Structure 1
């Protein structure tokens, strides 16, 4: 069977198991799409580029802080910061990759207007202005870096996140307040209950939709759950593609709660929140670090409720810090994808 022919089961629906097997027989690398933003997506892309050569990162575009927020407000562009971090994650381990990763991540330190701006943010925005095409600009940066994969925005317009937060005022712990902006949502003193996007029905990038529809595997997380992972499921066209794709889906859980955004979360809470925001989404694998799961039974049940199975692996940094080790995470992904 040709690698371009989509395998189907007896009901006529796309069959991800058969399609993946066909791809393996044809000697093709697995087509993987990872969704998220910031440090979480950086971790998953850094790992996945060690597993496949057909890799796409689909990135949130709601950042309103720091260098990205300033460029967004001044020039009306998509916030480039999370896109820059995703491109840096795709740089190789050779001297060229290391050097360019450091260059685009470098931030100016001064007393003037350049203070805090990342070189990569300025480079990306410059190419956007010259080419008039967001995707083409990112592809050019990727070529310069020798990126092992492609980076795409999830939407063609800048977005704002609005969160319904309980207990912003400690004196009124049961009151619900609407908090607007990614930075405000991520640093809120209350507990985030749900999020929405402004505008409510933003357009998805066609290239991102195509990547999801043609993927063999789709990876959610790790990362800021409400401000980096869930927003993809609130872009209607992208959410539809993520539900309908014949790809198998992996959810990678965080190593620890994020102060403000997910205070008090247990591992299964991430899955419960995911189900509440995307009730039609089915998951095949939930990947969690063996060292942070105290109640395996509850997490297994939460994974089953989404249609998936739990995989426990050692993916945290050996020094005990709450960050994923790229090599260990790559080994876990490889076992799942090729297993």
Structure 2
């Protein structure tokens, strides 16, 4: 079964970790709009794709393929207060491959071979992208006034309420972003496609705002599954219900239809409302106990894999 997972950061890490328990043929399609931390520094200084979310995908694959040392090294950050302080080893390695090979897809494929992993990691676009958000609640005199803020970090950490985002190449607002050809091909040839969990406005929704990637998601014959977050994210989705996440997805991609929505049963106060919201996307809701019982706010990989199986019609009674 050929699976594609779209997202970024810890959310994509969770999806990949669970998916590898179902199939070995997994491709990660990763957001490239990060402008903070180590990724932001490398992006600004070298003009490269921000490597942080790509690094997270590699770490997930390495941990599941038995390369736990590689996963740990890739995630290791240098300490101290020098030029390397805060940089992750994986970010620097990927940046070096980007510069030497000059082709981000070739560089990522080379990294897969170097780490001995069977999964493939692809960027959603071959160029760094920039997010702009329409946000209310930033004006004390007029709380309903909409302000535009720019950058992934600004959108993710805003104290206001995000209503909508747009996406464009960095410094090129006059044209839409280009999709990665290999990522588009992977979506079109997939048997199953997963979207989410993750930071909704900065890791999940950007994928449906790349026009040719959006078109591939609409056209693919793959079974499409949305995995919801366990809790709202302060700033981005503070106060959002699970069904509001789906409504926002529909507002940004009204032509998109999905087959199933996976959510944690204990994170859904009103299952009937979620089921109705899922039906508006053409989907059925699959609710199960998929939260990690030890680490708050994190999915349990085994339980999530079981619920994914049920959502795909592969058997199991973990979700309902």
TM-score normalized by structure 1?
Answer: 0.89
Quote how far apart the aligned CAs of 1:300 are: 0.6
Matched with 1:68 is 39
Q: Is the 8 A contact 1:49 1:148 kept in 2?
A: no
Quote how far apart the aligned CAs of 1:130 are: 1.4
CA displacement 1:102-127 (0-9 Å, x = unmatched):
00000000111100000000101111
- Counterparts of 1:139 and 1:36, CA distance in 2: 18
The within-5 A match list for 1:1-339 is 30-93=1-64, 97-199=67-169, 200-319=175-294, 321-337=296-312, 338-339=314-315
Q: Is the 8 A contact 1:213 1:247 kept in 2?
A: yes
Deviates more, 1:253-262 or 1:311-320: 311-320
Q: 1:322 to 1:219 in 2, by over 3 A?
A: same
Quote how far apart the aligned CAs of 1:310 are: 0.6
Q: 1:63 to 1:298 in 2, by over 3 A?
A: same
Q: 1:110 to 1:253 in 2, by over 3 A?
A: same
- Counterparts of 1:302 and 1:161, CA distance in 2: 26
Q: 1:64 to 1:204 in 2, by over 3 A?
A: same
Q: 1:148 to 1:333 in 2, by over 3 A?
A: farther
Stretches of structure 2 that go unaligned for 5 or more consecutive residues are 170-174, 316-320
Quote how far apart the aligned CAs of 1:221 are: 0.3
- Counterparts of 2:98 and 2:269, CA distance in 1: 47
Q: Is the 8 A contact 1:32 1:56 kept in 2?
A: yes
Quote how far apart the aligned CAs of 1:93 are: 4.3
- Counterparts of 1:178 and 1:87, CA distance in 2: 33
TM-score normalized by structure 2?
Answer: 0.94
Give the aligned CA root-mean-square deviation in angstroms. 1.2
3-state DSSP of counterpart to 1:108: coil
Quote how far apart the aligned CAs of 1:72 are: 0.3
Matched with 1:9 is none
Stretches of structure 1 that go unaligned for 5 or more consecutive residues are 1-29
- Counterparts of 1:323 and 1:103, CA distance in 2: 22
CA displacement 1:116-153 (0-9 Å, x = unmatched):
00000010111111111111111111122222411100
3-state DSSP of counterpart to 1:91: helix
| Count of residues in Structure 1 that have an aligned counterpart in Structure 2 | 309
Quote how far apart the aligned CAs of 1:320 are: 6.0
- Counterparts of 1:209 and 1:185, CA distance in 2: 26
